Structure 1
């Protein structure tokens, strides 16, 4: 049994200012999970507000704040920006690698890494979310059955690897797999 918009608004306005500020703090930093957790914690027992209704209440707050919400900035995928970032790596770059990752906010995404030697390690080059991929690819991804994040990461990663004259490695370009084998020298 969900609450309609008017009931949600009435419930919201009945909250103490401190609680509203706490929830809005989570919303303004784009932490849906944090906001929902607080709403359920204070609303479940006295008002029967479960996760579904809490998400609707949080969504109302997202709509209220709109563009004022701090979104995570998107990584640049153009070769010039990636090459500039690679130039700042500590160590000699021996490969560019694309690896799958995922979370509850972004679903699957791909991280581009520069693998280094002397000292051995890895440096973050870019994170390719769905929105990043769509911006980078534009209309270019038509006809490719793979996820746009994989297509964009492979295109940007391969271009950087070619520019640096090092191998490019993407163990699972067709299917999200955060346990795919990593690059080995």
Structure 2
């Protein structure tokens, strides 16, 4: 859908609907805004996900710095250790997992894996902007994905600080189906 068609579609919406979509945009809830545009426009105007993303993207450009962005997770070892200290149970490992969505593309979740109770506790989410901030403007990643590199550095530093293993099955390739960390078993060490 070209810019002119998007503008015309937007302008024909009732004011209340435009305000609802803009409300999601101003809260940085892109997925909710895109879903609403698709729900409103798919049957009537054949506005699918791709066009909805462009329409919502136009609204993001319109509001610019007025959008209340979700703050970046801290990746320094002290902040991560503080968050990890709130986990119930004994921390067995720090794990990094790839994930992704239509808003952020690929990102990595850093988790503390505990025993008694056996749970995983979210410590940080490493988005592209988080990785850029953490690695610095001159953070040369070579062929590596900056998100993977930042998650690996932060996660391994935290694991070393806590004296536990760090597991990142796929630091160089975004793979949300990579093998998960397994505790030490009688058949061999954890992986």
| Fold-level similarity (TM above 0.5) | yes
Two-structure CA RMSD over aligned residues (Å): 2.4
* 1:153 match: 151
Query: SS where residue 28 of structure 2 aligns?
Result: coil
The separation in 2 between residues aligned to 1:98 and 1:114, in whole angstroms, is 9
> Per the alignment, do residues 152 and 13 of structure 1 end up closer, same or farther by CA in structure 2, a change over 3 Å counting?
same
Contact 1:112–1:126, Cα closer than 8 Å, also in 2: yes
Show structure 2 runs of 5+ residues with no match: 184-191
Shift of 1:18: 1.3
Question: What displacement does 1:73 show?
Answer: 1.5
What SS does the aligned partner of 2:154 have?
helix
Aligned counterpart in structure 1 of residue 85 of structure 2, from 69, 87, 99: 87
With over 3 angstroms needed to count, the CA separation of the structure-2 counterparts of 1:45 and 1:109, relative to structure 1, is closer
State whether residues 31 and 102 of structure 2, in contact with CA within 8 Å, keep that contact through their aligned partners in structure 1: no
Q: Which whole-Å deviations, capped at 9, do the CAs of 1:23-75 have from their partners, x for residues lacking one?
A: 21222222334334444554566666565554444333222222222222211
Q: What is the aligned counterpart of 1:58 among 39, 56, 59?
A: 56
Corresponding residue SS for 2:80: helix
Q: Name 2:186's counterpart in structure 1.
A: none
Do 1:3 and 1:53's aligned partners in 2 also have CA atoms closer than 8 Å?
no
User: 1:92-131 maps to which residues of 2 (within 5 A)?
Assistant: 92-131=90-129
Query: Would you say the 8 A contact 1:27–1:69 is kept in 2?
Result: yes
Residues 132-171 of structure 1 correspond to what in structure 2 (within 5 A)?
132-139=130-137, 141-171=139-169
| Per-residue deviation, 1:119 | 1.6
TM-score under structure 2 length normalisation: 0.82
Question: Which TM-score applies when normalising by structure 1?
Answer: 0.84
5+ long unaligned stretches in structure 1:
none
